[in-house]
Chain A
């Protein structure tokens, strides 16, 4: 059977997540990105909340991890099942799920990576400086550069559009890696259309100088006439022209020549129409007056695509779009905060780069104008979000938390006396731990939160010290003027331009804002079968939601591949080396040093080095070679190995050369076992010493090499262990998350036992009618339950509880206690905790016999049972955060505000005369839900904001409820006589601690499932076989519950797809003979990889769970807990050698 393959377009956070999930399952992945590096936005971000750290690497595979790279994802990624293509764009997609034809366009680099040694000579001679996009333009880089500071790859790249083709780099390159393609620009025909002669003439002149063919026209009509005669490749047209305007010309020109690249030109203010034009197919626009350089670079870009981009057509089964989002560019809008004009106004991303260790200030925070340390920083929220004037009727969902994080980070980095102020409208702390984090910012870090929107920003002309003056009005109507050294704009998100274009061209539905539109109840399925949307493409998401969505998309792809009859690769079918023989042989060590195009004898006493190393019996010889990174060097080394037949190799070279992947290839080709190849970055070490210090340098290198020789001589080859792994799944909980998870796993071909404690499947969905976007929940549930009940891979256990469980490496054993039936024991390889949650009960102080005060659920059920008749109601009050987001339950339940909006709109639909009041603290209408907030306002719903210190009070009167609150703006008390009051009481998780504990999972402070990492492993527990989804994981909407279930499912399928799991090479073991069974290692193991086998009285290890961290070895005093291949004798010897 054929092996499944998926194309993942976009290699940022979510693209990587999707790709790794599929690759770990055993499918092939083609991962592409249009940029020159993988990692996406997160490459530029050093720290994430709540840890103020990065955790990107936590997404790396945990079992069979030697198939993949095991270093920071910002440095790069390898996986045997993933092919990565950078600088590549997806152009089109045709076909059906299971048989998609995708066309890719890859921009070949002008530098041959197999020849480039990364010496940097080209960069040194390059005379072109451009803004470095990696630092958001805060710094400059050359036109030939290394793609990202963290990247392992040492191959340089040429910025095609910035490069002037001066040829200096081509001349200096020692390996001849740089080759400019012969240019034939004359063939590239450009048409310039403008009614003003000066513009036409000067543009013609500039473009001709670059060697292009240029024709001009003074009107749209003339342009069209010219197009009848000749075929143009590119057209630059003014928008405002008498007669036919540029936009009309664009449409007509495209009719004539679909492939024509059109660039609009417009005066400052008409940017809107330029943006409109782009929606109609223009490639880009230029704002008049413009710099010739900008024009030329744009022309070169188009030319580049035209001339040298090659199309590559691939056959795949499924397509995951993971192009992410872009940040709003304040300078393109009305820009009231003077971004780009006022010094000291930066975007959030720029701020991250400013304070990044690899960024501009190398960690220092200096005012860009005065050079003085920054002492006062303000964050402005909703820049390009919740602003219809910026074409954003939506909330960008993530900026509030990002800004809080940045404020805390700034305080942590630059001292608590730094003044930080956050200006916001609603603080959207929409996750389970977000409110806590906000409080921490407020109370521990003294970040000032001001509920106000800043209208505009000016430089303080009186002070003339670069400080910025922000004017705002407080709730009482008092005007304040505060000055700041630095203002950070929390810029909102926009759909990634290329993705929107791709969607439009390929009939993939988009929403009015240009984001990918997904089908009902799904955030991954696009309108086209076989094409899935991962990450934030379909709407704005933080890291954890993006990761969840990306995993869900991977599940979608997995299902498609399974349905198309495609198979994953069998993981255990890799060759077993004959290691035992190797272990018995005496070590024969070959030491090779790559001189990297330098004369090593200038810096090292090679004679002494060789002499000293030869005294170690196991070391056969020391060799010097050149340019291991080139094909030629590679061959030299292979020959050397052939000749000397070593069984262990020590390789000294540069960092990029010794990165694992290359060494892995070397082992494969030379037959040397990969765990017996040791590497040393000698080039970095040599850089630390001046040439004159030969003895010192030699001594250092000698020590390092001796240490490695010691390591090599004691090291025995270790095979990855293989663990029999059960291929059935247990899903606990029959709500929508449980149903989805079970169906998802079953659809990928694995058996699932679904346990539900009640006699009905459906959980909370059973009492719900419609969603806010008017989808029929019951119909959806019916469909899913039918699907579940008829699925031959699913066994449903109703009225059943799990009683106890035992875990052995590779499987769980769970006892099912059934109501009225004999108990049952099942064996399963993974456990999904989807035990759900429920609406918190209403804490009532009042006697309320007529049930005038209701929870949201009670209200909705009341309407469904016709106990509540909306037409008979005159006034309804809704109280948000009732009993939640306070000391007792200090988290936001995320869904209640949306539910309130839904109910308000429902009431208004049923009875337009009804008066609805919503009393809220922060309106959490995140993402596109903001539109319902606007709609509710439009429909006359009145909103009162209240603060947690003055909660609304209710009083039952005869047949009314009197609600007392305060209008904060009018500063007066308000009393509302309501027919009924609907309380939003929030969500309580329903995951018993004992249950979680049985499966080695933990609960968080609020008794939700505790994620292994709330950002990067959002559905996993620390036990790699246990997952959670739905409400037991965190408060979520139905779509989000479904997505988390799909994510949990792929995480499970990733394990289920293997009959045997292969461990990493570095895993722990126990020497039972010396073990005292103190179980310290069991308690200590963070991955739950160690178990007590009480029958055999020994400690056993799940090698797939073990990550080789060595904590067990550290905690074990007798040395019974060991890391295979890294025993104490070896380590002591290495230390000894290094000290000699």
Chain B
């Protein structure tokens, strides 16, 4: 079913806040998880809200994307809490969370997943700079970002993850807030995506809406544009990394801070193998390496680290771009990951983050697969 969210005081944001408030006040929901502007700050951080009054600070749509909230939702749900939480997530956050569900790091059981058409994002540093300069107010941003698919905002590039995203629309949720192709003068639309979502929407007693005519067309356009951008990016990054030497050069600034890993929503290990004694080499080892080539750069194992991460999770990469965001050396980690991930995912015919019942490729054994690669018939 579909319902309509009217503007409140001529404000889309306030309309949305009103909707979430009703949701939180309803008996169905105990808590709400969504981006909230912190007091006396321009920082917008994901927050767990239980007091309806606090909803006034919620900013559901903004260019701020400090971290992939899929990770946070996993913390809220990996065990039972006895409470029902509605969570508002960007499409790439939903995908990340679905991947984590597969890995038993989260559960949908006590959650209502609310998806939203992606409002794009700036990188962490760009967001800070943008906010310093002359930021748009919340409503103006919504109007702008959903009126045209632009690559920049006030001279700042949107994150390349957003510009190359082929799936900026939520799927497999309990309900979705639709913005693309919607005539805002008539409010916004919420569409139910599951039985549970439908029941909640019905209990809210709001007026029904219908699917905006132009939505499909606009979605297709956006996908096409982003897809082209993606192709160009892949081509570019492939050219930059298509030999081990080039790859070494690409990652030569890497300092093994592991920030990218820490911010990666699908890198779910409690303790990474790179933190174990596997990479705590014997002193003689460094010498042997040095003796062989006459020089060895430290820290060692930097490219190996990235390759290992690619091997471990490239099939699950949801393309959120937080790895690049986190890199203090400004390495474009995301672009490499996304490029490799596309190949990996295509090879296994795997779509991460879509269906929690689709098993991760490595947990499935087929006697006959990749015969041309493994050379065994």
Of residues 309 through 367 on chain B, the ones whose CB sits less than 8 Å from some CB of chain A are 312-313, 359-360, 362-363, 365, 367
Stretch at the interface among B19-27, B199-207, B276-284: B276-284
A617 contacts B by Cβ under 8 Å: yes
Give CA–CA (A455, B114) in the complex, Å: 76
Give CA–CA (A929, B210) in the complex, Å: 72
A1080-B363, A1086-B365 known; A1127 and B278 CB under 8 Å? Answer: yes
CB pair B273–A1128 under 8 Å, yes or no, is yes
Stretch at the interface among B34-42, B180-188, B229-237, B263-271: B263-271
B154 contacts A by Cβ under 8 Å: no
Interface string of A536-573 (1 = CB under 8 A from B): 00000000000000000000000000000000000000
Which of B271, B277, B360, B365 has a CB less than 8 Å from the CB of A1118?
Answer: B271
A412-B377, A1083-B359, A1084-B362 known; A1118 and B285 CB under 8 Å? Answer: no
Chain A residue at minimum C-beta to C-beta distance from B316: A1117
Q: Write the nearest CB–CB distance from A3 to chain B, whole angstroms.
A: 40
B249 contacts A by Cβ under 8 Å: no
Contact sample, A vs B, 25 pairs, CB 8 Å cutoff: A51-B367, A617-B284, A1074-B269, A1074-B276, A1076-B103, A1076-B105, A1076-B268, A1076-B269, A1078-B105, A1079-B104, A1080-B103, A1080-B360, A1083-B359, A1084-B365, A1111-B365, A1117-B269, A1117-B273, A1118-B269, A1118-B273, A1119-B278, A1128-B273, A1128-B278, A1129-B277, A1132-B278, A1140-B292
B288 contacts A by Cβ under 8 Å: yes
User: A1073: which B residues are within 8 A, CB to CB?
Assistant: 271
B272 contacts A by Cβ under 8 Å: yes
User: A1079: which B residues are within 8 A, CB to CB?
Assistant: 103-104
User: B285: which A residues are within 8 A, CB to CB?
Assistant: 1133, 1136
Q: Write the nearest CB–CB distance from B348 to chain A, whole angstroms.
A: 13
CB pair A1115–B270 under 8 Å, yes or no, is no
CB pair A1114–B288 under 8 Å, yes or no, is no
Give CA–CA (A1119, B278) in the complex, Å: 9
Q: Write the nearest CB–CB distance from A670 to chain B, whole angstroms.
A: 28
Given contacts A1078-B105, A1084-B365, A1117-B313, 13 further A-B contacts (CB under 8 A): A1074-B276, A1075-B270, A1077-B104, A1083-B359, A1083-B363, A1084-B362, A1111-B365, A1117-B267, A1117-B312, A1118-B272, A1129-B278, A1133-B285, A1140-B288
Chain A residue at minimum C-beta to C-beta distance from B304: A1132
Interface string of A1106-1139 (1 = CB under 8 A from B): 0000010011011110000001110011001000
Give CA–CA (A1120, B268) in the complex, Å: 13
Q: Which of B269, B284, B285 is packed against the most chain A CB atoms within 10 Å? A: B269
User: B105: which A residues are within 8 A, CB to CB?
Assistant: 1076, 1078
Q: Write the nearest CB–CB distance from B143 to chain A, whole angstroms.
A: 42
CB pair A1118–B270 under 8 Å, yes or no, is yes
Give CA–CA (A885, B367) in the complex, Å: 27
Give CA–CA (A1118, B277) in the complex, Å: 12
Interface string of B92-124 (1 = CB under 8 A from A): 000000000001110000000000000000000
Give CA–CA (A1119, B285) in the complex, Å: 21
Give CA–CA (A768, B359) in the complex, Å: 47
Q: Write the nearest CB–CB distance from B350 to chain A, whole angstroms.
A: 14
Of residues 1065 through 1099 on chain A, the ones whose CB sits less than 8 Å from some CB of chain B are 1073-1080, 1083-1084, 1086
Binding site for B on A (CB under 8 A): 51, 412, 617, 1073-1080, 1083-1084, 1086, 1111, 1114-1115, 1117-1120, 1127-1129, 1132-1133, 1136, 1140
User: B284: which A residues are within 8 A, CB to CB?
Assistant: 617
User: B312: which A residues are within 8 A, CB to CB?
Assistant: 1117
CB pair A1119–B365 under 8 Å, yes or no, is no
CB pair B359–A1119 under 8 Å, yes or no, is no
Binding site for A on B (CB under 8 A): 103-105, 267-273, 276-278, 284-285, 288, 292, 312-313, 359-360, 362-363, 365, 367, 377
User: B272: which A residues are within 8 A, CB to CB?
Assistant: 1118
CB pair B360–A1119 under 8 Å, yes or no, is no
Q: Write the nearest CB–CB distance from B150 to chain A, whole angstroms.
A: 38
A1117-B312, A1118-B271, A1119-B273 known; A1078 and B104 CB under 8 Å? Answer: yes
User: A1078: which B residues are within 8 A, CB to CB?
Assistant: 103-105, 268
Give CA–CA (A533, B288) in the complex, Å: 63
Q: Write the nearest CB–CB distance from B298 to chain A, whole angstroms.
A: 16
Give CA–CA (A792, B309) in the complex, Å: 60
Q: Write the nearest CB–CB distance from B27 to chain A, whole angstroms.
A: 31
Chain B residue at minimum C-beta to C-beta distance from A1128: B278
Q: Write the nearest CB–CB distance from A673 to chain B, whole angstroms.
A: 23
User: B365: which A residues are within 8 A, CB to CB?
Assistant: 1084, 1086, 1111
Give CA–CA (A1133, B278) in the complex, Å: 9
User: A1140: which B residues are within 8 A, CB to CB?
Assistant: 288, 292
Q: Write the nearest CB–CB distance from B83 to chain A, whole angstroms.
A: 21
User: B360: which A residues are within 8 A, CB to CB?
Assistant: 1080
Chain A residue at minimum C-beta to C-beta distance from B363: A1083
Q: Write the nearest CB–CB distance from B184 to chain A, whole angstroms.
A: 42
User: B271: which A residues are within 8 A, CB to CB?
Assistant: 1073-1074, 1118, 1120
User: A617: which B residues are within 8 A, CB to CB?
Assistant: 284
Give CA–CA (A1075, B292) in the complex, Å: 36
Give CA–CA (A1129, B377) in the complex, Å: 32
Give CA–CA (A468, B299) in the complex, Å: 72
Give CA–CA (A1133, B292) in the complex, Å: 15
Give CA–CA (A1115, B311) in the complex, Å: 10
Give CA–CA (A553, B104) in the complex, Å: 47
Chain A residue at minimum C-beta to C-beta distance from B367: A51
User: A1077: which B residues are within 8 A, CB to CB?
Assistant: 104
User: A1111: which B residues are within 8 A, CB to CB?
Assistant: 365
Give CA–CA (A617, B363) in the complex, Å: 41
Chain A residue at minimum C-beta to C-beta distance from B100: A1078
Give CA–CA (A617, B362) in the complex, Å: 39
User: B377: which A residues are within 8 A, CB to CB?
Assistant: 412
Give CA–CA (A1118, B105) in the complex, Å: 14
CB pair A1119–B276 under 8 Å, yes or no, is yes
CB pair A1115–B363 under 8 Å, yes or no, is yes
CB pair B104–A1114 under 8 Å, yes or no, is no
User: B270: which A residues are within 8 A, CB to CB?
Assistant: 1074-1076, 1118
User: B104: which A residues are within 8 A, CB to CB?
Assistant: 1077-1079
Chain B residue at minimum C-beta to C-beta distance from A1111: B365
User: A1118: which B residues are within 8 A, CB to CB?
Assistant: 269-273
CB pair B288–A1084 under 8 Å, yes or no, is no
User: B267: which A residues are within 8 A, CB to CB?
Assistant: 1117
Give CA–CA (A1129, B273) in the complex, Å: 10
Q: Write the nearest CB–CB distance from B74 to chain A, whole angstroms.
A: 11
User: A1115: which B residues are within 8 A, CB to CB?
Assistant: 362-363
User: B103: which A residues are within 8 A, CB to CB?
Assistant: 1076, 1078-1080
Q: Which of A1074, A1118, A1120 is packed against the most chain B CB atoms within 10 Å? A: A1118
Give CA–CA (A51, B368) in the complex, Å: 10
CB pair A1084–B268 under 8 Å, yes or no, is no
Chain B residue at minimum C-beta to C-beta distance from A1139: B292
Give CA–CA (A1136, B360) in the complex, Å: 31
Chain A residue at minimum C-beta to C-beta distance from B376: A53
List of 7 A-B pairs having minimum Cβ-Cβ separation, nearest first: A1118-B269, A1074-B271, A1078-B103, A1117-B312, A1119-B273, A1083-B363, A1128-B278
User: A1074: which B residues are within 8 A, CB to CB?
Assistant: 269-271, 276
Chain B residue at minimum C-beta to C-beta distance from A1077: B104
Chain B residue at minimum C-beta to C-beta distance from A1130: B278
Which of A1114, A1133, A1136 has a CB less than 8 Å from the CB of B362?
Answer: A1114
Give CA–CA (A1114, B362) in the complex, Å: 9
Give CA–CA (A1117, B359) in the complex, Å: 16
Q: Write the nearest CB–CB distance from A617 to chain B, whole angstroms.
A: 7
User: A1119: which B residues are within 8 A, CB to CB?
Assistant: 273, 276, 278
CB pair B278–A1080 under 8 Å, yes or no, is no
User: B269: which A residues are within 8 A, CB to CB?
Assistant: 1074, 1076, 1117-1118, 1120
CB pair B362–A1080 under 8 Å, yes or no, is yes
Give CA–CA (A183, B280) in the complex, Å: 70
Give CA–CA (A378, B147) in the complex, Å: 72
Give CA–CA (A1118, B312) in the complex, Å: 9
